Amino acid sequence: MVGRNIISAIAIVGLGLLIGACAYNNKGADDSITEAEKRADDPRNENYRSGDIYSGYIAMTSQTRDMQDDDFANPGFVWIDTGEELWSKPMGSKGKSCASCHGEAAKAMKGIANTFPRYDPKTKEMMALQAYLNRHMVDDMGAKKLKWESEEMLSMAAYVKLQSRGLPIKVSLNDQNKSFYVKGKKFYDERRGLLDMSCAQCHTDNSGNMARSNVLSMGMSNGFPTYRMKWQGMGSLHRRFIGCNKNIRAQPYKRGSEEYTNLEFYMLQRAAGLKWETPSVRN
């Protein structure tokens, strides 16, 4: 099933690029208009802003935006289809599926994306969605843990977050989670690695500027898990953190680590007001 889905994803990517190219050519655009100008003048931008902040969608090429907007052309929906199958599939020794307890995902999971990472009284730490899914599969279904970046886990996480697509991000700070927000902000602002750089230097101080061939976004997390063109597949936010740390020659942390989970929580606060886009498409 996964192999067939990947083949389908490759086909969909090609179709999406063709659709985007045709859509642009049919507009009779002036060749003198730069890609940056096309992005800036795109009327869709207003749907991806909230006050002074904006989604990574606005930093993407016109063709990538077209691909995300079309659920048929969006390659992330190959993983969504797998997630939908897994939702109703019994897994583990107890013969239960997610649907056994939660019923229809469209109702039960609506708005859930806004609740992760969440404070976990058992560990007294923040817990990301993937860690939460693994706990329930082990404790309630008698299943084995899924690897953070596995096809199955990415599919499940994307399918759950899809149910919040279009809803604004809204997260409340309280006595239990505020200290983790502070830790996440510290990580975001702290310089590290051989290049002595922080997250903020790229995504706050230089957002909108070019980094090689790409426009630096504001580093918003509202589209993850995302289908990234560079990866030719879906990936988690923590995978993106690892990539950024490697780019500045810093030692990365493990997926699901306390450091990355706190950073994810802080970034969720930064994105407050933007709408969930999962599954987004990024360059």
Residue pLDDT, tens place only, 189-203: 999 999 999 999 999
Quote the CA–CA distance of 214 and 61 in Å, as a whole number.
9
In which band, very low, low, confident or very high, does the pLDDT at 218 lie, cut at 50, 70 and 90?
very high
Q: Which of 185, 223, 187 is nearest to 56 (CA)?
A: 223
Quote the CA–CA distance of 120 and 29 in Å, as a whole number.
53
pLDDT tens digits, 232-265 = 999 999 999 999 999 999 999 999 999 999 999 9
What ranges make up the beta strands (E) of 137-269? 210-211, 214-215, 226-228, 233-235
Letter string b/e over residues 123-162, b meaning 16 or more CB atoms within 10 A of that residue's CB: eeebbbbbbbbbeebeeebebeebebbebbbbbbbbbbbb
Q: Are 78 and 9 in contact (CB under 8 A)?
A: yes
In which band, very low, low, confident or very high, does the pLDDT at 8 lie, cut at 50, 70 and 90?
low
In which band, very low, low, confident or very high, does the pLDDT at 17 lie, cut at 50, 70 and 90?
very low
Report the pLDDT value the prediction gives residue 2, as an integer from 0 to 100. Answer: 45
Report the pLDDT value the prediction gives residue 192, as an integer from 0 to 100. Answer: 97
In which band, very low, low, confident or very high, does the pLDDT at 7 lie, cut at 50, 70 and 90?
very low
Sign of CA dihedral 202, 203, 205, 206: positive
Report the pLDDT value the prediction gives residue 208, as an integer from 0 to 100. Answer: 86
Report the pLDDT value the prediction gives residue 33, as an integer from 0 to 100. Answer: 73
Tokens encoding 249: 């020659």
Pairing of strands 280-282, 226-228: parallel
Report the pLDDT value the prediction gives residue 92, as an integer from 0 to 100. Answer: 94
Quote the CA–CA distance of 64 and 60 in Å, as a whole number.
6
What ranges make up the beta strands (E) of the chain? 49-50, 53-54, 118-120, 125-127, 210-211, 214-215, 226-228, 233-235, 280-282
Q: Which of 265, 180, 268 is nearest to 222 (CA)?
A: 268
Rounded average pLDDT over 260-271 = 97
pLDDT tens digits, 85-134 = 999 999 999 999 999 999 999 999 999 999 999 999 999 999 999 999 99
Rounded average pLDDT over 139-158 = 97
Domains (range + CATH), the chain: 80-283 (1.10.760.10)
Report the pLDDT value the prediction gives residue 163, as an integer from 0 to 100. Answer: 98
Q: Is the pLDDT of residue 215 over 90?
A: no
Quote the CA–CA distance of 42 and 213 in Å, as a whole number.
19
Please indicate whether residue 263 or residue 8 has the higher confidence score (pLDDT).
Answer: 263
The residues facing 91 across adjacent strands are 96
Quick count: other Cβ atoms within 10 Å of Cβ 271?
Answer: 24
Quick count: other Cβ atoms within 10 Å of Cβ 263?
Answer: 25
Percent residues over pLDDT 70 in the chain: 88
Quote the CA–CA distance of 82 and 5 in Å, as a whole number.
8
Mean of all residue pLDDT scores within the chain: 90
Q: What is the DSSP letter of 142?
A: -
Q: Is 244 a catalytic residue?
A: yes
